[in-house]
Amino acid sequence: ILNLKQVRMKLLNKKPAKIEFTIQGPKEVTAADIQKYTADLEILNPNQHIATLQADAKFEVELRVGRGKGYVPAVDNKSPDFTIGMIAIDSIYSPIVNATYEIENVRIGDRNDYEKLVMNVATDGSITPDDALTQAAKIMRDHLQLFINFDIEQEDTHEEVKKDSEKDRIRKILLTNVDDLELSVRAHNCLKAANIKTISDLVAKDEAEMLKFRNFGRKSLAELMEIVETLGLEFGMNIDEYIKDESSSN
């Protein structure tokens, strides 16, 4: 039972699944053996040991697999149709194996008070870290929504101010010289050879254009992509709405 609780599964259908199988010894039964008897779910850790059978042993199993959230104790998994010999086990539905975060300082130009959030999320494979983070953010948003009691007009005004502030922030970053970025010597020389002087010159190009530059490889691209992402920008973005406003104001 304890070994079965360690088996990680991904149910492929919305409805609960029931798997029945019999295995004759001698054999070491692993989670991979469950996969042989069903197409309704995916076993994520097939090497998980379940039981060791002697030559005269027979392993008869009926598994019931369903969907859920968080932790469910065994008593809540009992069903009225359980017969003698059926055992309910507690369920751990959380796909997150580990989650940590770090705050790192980032220098942009002459300012060193920017910060970068680095999140490390590990899952059991039933969900991607990106999807897990997205769902967590949505849950947090829904909870915090209960505390928002501003009327529509106030929200609209707040959004306008927020957008203008964000636009100013991006404009200042775009006008920053690439010499102020903490780049490797190779990446810096490649940008200099390509006549890319400001961050606006950089993000105006997409990844494919960058790779066309002489001596500019994927390692340098990955370095720049991380920096650009940290700044809240992206390659191939439309910079006209920021740069044109700056030109007209001058």
Q: What CATH number is given to the structural domain containing 185?
A: 1.10.150.20
Instruction: Give the model's pLDDT for residue 244.
Output: 64
Are 88 and 10 part of one and the same domain?
A: yes
The packing angle between helices 152-174 and 240-249, to 10°, is 80
Band of pLDDT at residue 34, cut at 50, 70 and 90? very high
Q: 190 lies in a domain?
A: yes
Average of per-residue pLDDT across 52-63: 91
Which domain covers residue 73, as residue numbers?
2-92
CB atoms within 10 A of CB 95: 19
Band of pLDDT at residue 31, cut at 50, 70 and 90? very high
**Cα(142)–Cα(164) distance, rounded to whole angstroms?**
26
Average of per-residue pLDDT across 27-37: 92
Which span out of 134-143, 151-160, 208-217 was modeled with the highest average pLDDT?
Answer: 134-143
> Among candidates 115, 120, 114, 113, which has minimal Cα distance to 103?
115
Question: Would you state the structure tokens that stand for residue 140, as one six-digit string?
Answer: 């947090």
Are 113 and 77 part of one and the same domain?
A: no
Portion of the chain with pLDDT greater than 90, in percent: 16
Band of pLDDT at residue 149, cut at 50, 70 and 90? low
Q: Whole-prediction pTM value?
A: 0.50
Are 116 and 88 part of one and the same domain?
A: no
Mean of all residue pLDDT scores within the chain: 83
**Between 77 and 55, residue with greater pLDDT:** 55
Q: 67 lies in a domain?
A: yes
**Cα(248)–Cα(241) distance, rounded to whole angstroms?**
11
Average of per-residue pLDDT across 173-190: 86
Instruction: Give the model's pLDDT for residue 249.
Output: 46
Number of domains in the chain: 3
Supply the CATH number for residue 120's domain.
3.30.1360.10
Spatial contact of 78 and 46, defined as CB atoms under 8 Å apart: no
DSSP state of 183: -
Are 76 and 23 part of one and the same domain?
A: yes
Q: 141 lies in a domain?
A: yes
Are 72 and 116 part of one and the same domain?
A: no
Is it the case that residue 247 has pLDDT exceeding 50? no
DSSP H or E run through 193: helix 185-193
Instruction: Give the model's pLDDT for residue 222.
Output: 84
Instruction: Give the model's pLDDT for residue 101.
Output: 93
Q: Which of 47-56, 113-122, 158-167 is least confident?
A: 158-167
Average of per-residue pLDDT across 77-81: 82
Spatial contact of 66 and 19, defined as CB atoms under 8 Å apart: no
Are 36 and 85 part of one and the same domain?
A: yes
Instruction: Give the model's pLDDT for residue 94.
Output: 85
Band of pLDDT at residue 99, cut at 50, 70 and 90? very high
**Between 118 and 151, residue with greater pLDDT:** 118
The packing angle between helices 185-193 and 218-230, to 10°, is 90
Portion of the chain with pLDDT greater than 70, in percent: 91
DSSP H or E run through 62: strand 58-65
Average of per-residue pLDDT across 189-217: 86
**Cα(163)–Cα(140) distance, rounded to whole angstroms?**
22
